[in-house]
Amino acid sequence: MMEAIIEWLPKIASGIVLLIGLICFFKPQIIMDSCGIKMTNNMAISEVRGVFGGLNIGSAVAALYFADPTAYAVLAFAWTAVAAARFYSMAVDGSTAKESIAPIILDSSVAIMYFTGTGLF
């Protein structure tokens, strides 16, 4: 039973990443408003759609398509770096733990779920 759950964790992570990507692609204002980021021109909106939307959609679809430990490892390390960047931002930029905790939990959870599909642990 536990093995079946662990087998699904990278797929669940991909679903979460795909959802984030779709929101950023089709409704970038939702994500930017929640972060307090003002998009002042069309190029800013295009960047959100491309970077936050396109990369997340592409990586999630690739992980679901290949369903391979190597693909999961790449994404696990990438999401670990995202979480690490949030800690670095707290130290350097002065973002608070209160505003950073939810994104850190999300990023770390996605990384852990991808790591379960790698066979590294």
pLDDT tens-digit readout, 91-105: 999 999 999 999 999
Lookup: tokens for 11: 């797929």
With a cut of 90, say whether residue 120 has pLDDT above it: no
Residue-level pLDDT at 91: 95
Q: What is the pLDDT of residues 38-55, one digit of tens each?
A: 888 999 999 999 999 999
